[in-house]
Amino acid sequence: MQAWFGFLLIVFTSPKMSAQIVSNDLKALGLNGNIIIRVSSVTAFTTYFSLNNGNVDLDFHFGLDDPRNGVHIGLPMPQPNGQIYIRFSDLGYEMGDTLSFITTETFQGTTIKHYVFNMGNYFPETGGPIQTCPRSIRCVGKALLLKFDPDEIILDPSSATPIRFQIPSLGIDVTKTPGAYSVLENAFVVKFLPVLDCNQMMLGTTILTINGFTCHFVNGQLTCPPWADVPANLSADCSPYFDECLNDLLGIITEAQYSIPCQQWMTFGPCTTTNFIFRSGKVAIGTDKYAPNKALTVKNGIITDKVKLTNFGWADYVFDKQYPLASLDWVESYIKKNGHLPGIPSGNSIENSGGFELGEVTILHQEKIEEIFLHLIALEKEINEMEAMVALLKHFNWVQTK
């Protein structure tokens, strides 16, 4: 599951998304413990979704083995401000700003659209400049068909981009702008006659350059480029090749694991086991839920030899001469009435608030300990005085008997 999510985040942050603009029309949120998709208006709703019996059916993809994966039915809920919430009542989640997933809408057996949400934000995929390589090329009659993965971009006329075609074996280097596109195949159609027959591109090496992306095809198949030819900007050049080049990339990373700068560490340089880790965002261990407004959530406990709290302040104010130390009689009366010590939160309040702040409660405990010591000191003085009085009475009794 962790590896799948890693590549999901690469999809979101890789350069192929750089030309996309986050839409204000859609946003994924958490509402009353359920996932919802907020649509800005009725017009936007009808633009993005096809209704099926009054509902919206979406296939959610979070990560491998995630129990939330699968088709869920959402019910549109119009709001007074003109927005619409599509609520998936059987799809639970708490923090809307951590939602990252891909959904697919299928209407009457046909895929309508893919929706990508990262940290709650929707990334529209339709149109815009091409920022990835075609997944396959093939000849159709006298034209070349460049087929793109719909999970990466859905083509429309605004996607037309000049593409440089290089065939080193034939000494061919031409630039063409696609003249048409196929909605059914999500592909561009490029005609080369009379420059060359497209079948020549199915033999040997063909190099396509699209908006700065270099795409290597060998006998019509997308392949890894020769690593010696990879430019310094590795992430921009190789982002289209993750599926095809995974083994090669893992080999390179394994060999260079002690020389690659560590982006997650505070100091750049070789990866070590002693550098300080500094990563933004939230961390959850043993659970997929995050505590509100907390950076770290851990389930099933923590074992450590030291815990240091940096709360400022301590309970030394108890020893101030002006401190209003309550009498034990008053404390007893308070306990009988309220069922807990004065100044200490009750069990019900802790349960209702979801827990307590360890630093604050530690100070309160120290306050009670110091109050107890003041009472003990006072009681010891009373005992000493009573013992002295008893000794004096014994002495008088002894003298009288004499």
- Please report whether residue 74 resides in a domain: yes
Query: Whole-prediction pTM value?
Result: 0.34
Answer yes or no: is 310 within a domain: no
Instruction: Tell me: do 165 and 73 sit in the same domain.
Output: no
Neighbouring CB atoms inside 10 A of 343's CB total: 11
Of 241, 272, 303, which marks where a domain is finished?
303
In terms of residue numbers, what domain contains 101?
21-123
Q: Residue 127's pLDDT is what?
A: 57
Q: Are residues 193 and 294 in the same domain?
A: no
Residue 91 belongs to some domain of the structure: yes
308 part of a folded domain: no
Domain identity same for 222 and 268: no
Residue 202 sits in the same domain as residue 283: no
pLDDT at position 306 is 87
240 half-sphere exposure, CB direction, 13 A CA radius: 26
For position 60, what pLDDT does the model report? 92
Structural domain includes residue 152: yes
> Can you tell me which residue has the tokens 């460049």?
146
Same domain, yes or no, for 140 and 247?
yes
Same domain, 221 and 114: no
Domain boundary residue among 98, 123, 148?
A: 123
Q: Looking at residue 86, what is its pLDDT?
A: 92
Tell me the sheet residues that pair with 73.
57
The DSSP result for 163-212, as a single string, is: EEEEEGGGTEEEEE---EEETTTTEEEEE-TTS--GGGGGSSEEEEEETT
Q: Are residues 169 and 244 in the same domain?
A: yes
Does a cis peptide bond (omega within 30 degrees of 0) precede residue 194?
Answer: yes
Boundary (domain end) residue, out of 123, 148, 172: 123
Same domain, 242 and 270: no
In a domain, 257, yes or no: no
Residues 209 and 299 in one domain: no
Backbone angles phi, psi at 4, to 5 degrees: -60, -45
**Per the domain annotation, does 347 fall within a domain?**
yes
Q: What is residue 37's predicted lDDT score, i.e. its pLDDT?
A: 93
Are 276 and 340 found together in one domain? no
User: Helix H segments across 239-357?
Assistant: 242-255, 328-338, 347-353
Q: Per residue in 125-183, pLDDT tens?
A: 555 667 678 888 888 877 888 998 876 777 877 778 888 888 888 888 888 888 787 87
> Which residues in the chain come in under a pLDDT of 50?
1-21, 233, 235-237, 260, 266
Q: What is the pLDDT of residue 266?
A: 47
CB atoms within 10 A of CB 115: 22
- Give the total number of structural domains in the chain: 4
Residues 119 and 144 placed together within one structural domain of the fold: no
State whether 189 and 244 are in the same domain: yes
Closest by CA position to 152, among listed 130, 136, 120, 121: 130
Q: Would 60 be classed as within a structural domain?
A: yes
Task: Supply 213's token pair.
Answer: 């992306």
